[in-house]
Amino acid sequence: MADSTKQLRWYNVALIAFVAVWGLGNVFNNYAQQGLSVITSWLLIMLLYFVPYALIVGQLGSAFKDANGGVSSWIRATGTKRLAYYAAWTYWVVHVPYLAQKPQGILIGLSWLFQGNGDFVNTASAVTVSMICLALFLLFLWLAARGITTLNRIGSVAGTAMFVMSILFIILAVSAPFMTKAHIATPNMTSIKTYLPNFNLAYFTTISMLVFAVGGAEKISPYVNNTKHAAREFPLGMIALAIMVALCAILGSFAMGFLFDSNHIPADLMANGAYKAFAMLGGYYHLGNTFVILYAIAQTLAQISALAFSIDAPLKILLADADADFVPAALSKTNAKGVPVNGYAMTGVLVGLLIIVPALKIGNMNALYKWLLNLNSVVMPMRYLWVFLAYLLLNRHLSRYPSDYMFVKSRRLGMVIGGWCFLFTAFACVLGMIPKLDMAADPEQWWFQLALNIITPLIFLALGLILPAIARRRRAN
């Protein structure tokens, strides 16, 4: 008799994973840094990193099918309790820059919705924006502390809308030169040279954004054990996922070449690019600001939902399975609604500092937005390191952890692949710390951003090391 829980086929897995991993912002952010040469980068990152990453997650999810803590549970099973704590801490703390940026996304969406343009990004001072963002963040922190979860439910609707808008963008933009009088912005789009990156230091500093774009495959792990014929169909689903993501990334980047000159990329493309693109498409198809309004609504709701969800969920993952030897009991203290109030306070302090301090030296909102997005691309992939460490530890004791699905059966080959993914992620994170600015044009700003990019992860690491010492002292007393 067939197992009723194993109902997912390879195409179901691919679609579920695609919605979880991919977003339209990935196209704009990486085009802004590499232009049309990003198409070659997408191909390389898919083949050399994303496919093995997703298949590694499949084996870990299958081997630890009853584990509820995700990466930290994998590390606890294969390593030690201390390593598991550091994995859980990393998963939580990398969300601090993410939380600091969400209010900016809300402001940009609202400005396009009510002003119909992106002037706010280019005219508002960083201090003004940071004060508004801090107020927005504290409001959502207060709402989350009251146990209000309605905003999370908006997320599924907004997420679906964003997914539809992403596919719509690709279809409309690729079709525009053939169906309308749209002018192709980038010259020489038929020349191979246009798509070849210059593999210099500046190029390698942008890799972290690509890793950031395709990361998060560990969200797929719960589905491997619900897949029919997992050993055969799960890898097929992951390969289908990689093809879908690659097609969206390549076609989306190609479409960007039609709309924005790859040789003269607008300075505000990361912040305003999607809205400008939809405004242009609305003009080409004689629909005015319809696409801009729809995208602004979907994006604003998605940012609100992500902010509300990311305040609560990562913290609960850290505290729910917290070991008293490493996490002070005071951090896990909850109010009548089951909210960890002291954990929320710690979140509020760290995010508040990250919103306010950079604004004192970064002059305008566009520069602040780009810096914080690049910081996210440095910090967020640090949690992926624990996925690859878990896989390396799993391969050391392969016979102990049988699974329905195995990426590779050779222990030695598994160690090589896991080691490659770990080192590549670390390499991308370290080089991603180098500011994406012309040092000669503004050396003071360059050094300030470099200092922030190095100090921020170090502070996060230091806090993770200090908490166990506090926990031990409290227990001793």
- Rounded to whole angstroms, the Cα distance separating 182 from 184 reads 7
Rounded mean pLDDT, 300-322: 79
For residue 23, the 8-state DSSP code is -
Read off the pLDDT of each residue in 31-52 and give the average, rounded to a whole number.
94
- The rounded distance, in Å, linking the Cα atoms of 128 and 106 is 15
**In b/e form, how buried is each residue of 200-235, taking b as 16+ CB within 10 angstroms?**
eeeebbbbbbbbbbbbbbbebbebbbbbbebeebbb
Using one digit for the tens of pLDDT, what is the confidence trace for 460-476? 989 988 988 888 887 76
Confidence category of residue 279, pLDDT binned at 50, 70, 90 = very high
226-275 pLDDT per residue, tens: 788 777 788 888 888 888 888 889 999 998 998 999 999 999 999 999 99
> 151 — phi, psi (to 5°)?
-60, -30
Q: Find, among 464, 460, 471, 465, the residue nearest to 323 by Cα.
A: 471
Q: What is the DSSP letter of 320?
A: H
Residue 473: the pLDDT is 81
Say if residue 137's pLDDT is above 80: yes
DSSP state of 334: B
**DSSP result, 47-83:** IIIIHHHHHHHHHHHHHTTT-SSTHHHHHHHHS-HHH
Six token digits for residue 123: 């005219």
Residue 315 — very low, low, confident or very high, per pLDDT cuts 50/70/90? confident
Query: Residue 277 is encoded by which pair of tokens?
Result: 């693109």
Which pLDDT does position 1 carry in this prediction? Answer: 42
Strand partners, 340: 334
Chain segment 117-128, per-residue pLDDT in tens: 888 888 888 888
Pure H helices in 94-215: 95-115, 119-123, 126-145, 150-179, 201-204, 207-214
3-state secondary structure of 222: helix
What is the predicted pLDDT for the residue at 147?
64
Q: Do the beta carbons of residue 174 and residue 258 sit within 8 Å?
A: yes
At residue 437, the pLDDT reads: 86
pLDDT of residue 155: 67
Query: Would you say how long the chain is, in residues?
Result: 477
Quote the tokens at residue 333: 């203290």
Give the residue with greater pLDDT, 317 vs 424. 424
Over residues 323-329, the mean pLDDT reads: 80
For every residue of 227-257, DSSP letters joined together read BTTHHHHHHHHHHHHHHHHHHHHHHHHHHHH
Q: Answer whether residue 2 shows pLDDT above 80.
A: no
CB 259 within 8 A of CB 175: no
Q: What is the pLDDT of residue 321?
A: 66
For residue 69, pLDDT beyond 80? no
Q: Which DSSP letter does residue 471 get?
A: H
> Lowest-pLDDT range, 51-60, 204-213, 415-424?
51-60
pLDDT tens, position by position, 175-229: 888 888 778 888 988 899 999 999 999 999 999 999 999 888 777 777 777 788 7
- Residue 111: name the closest of 253, 236, 272 by CA: 272
From the list 65, 74, 71, the residue with the least C-alpha distance to 88 is 71
What is each CA distance from 357 to 100, 134, 307, 374, in whole angstroms? Answer: 11, 11, 20, 16
With a pLDDT cut of 70, the percent of the chain lying above it is 94
Q: Which of 166, 108, 170 is nearest to 136 (CA)?
A: 108
The SS3 assignment for 119 reads: helix
At 368, which helix (H) or strand (E)?
A: helix 365-379
Reference 158, options 15, 313, 300, 18; nearest CA is: 300
| Confidence band for 42, pLDDT divided at 50, 70 and 90 | very high
356-399 pLDDT, tens digit each: 988 888 878 888 999 999 999 999 999 999 999 999 999 988 88
Quote the pLDDT of residue 29: 93
Question: Is this prediction's pTM over 0.85?
Answer: yes
Chain mean pLDDT for the chain:
86
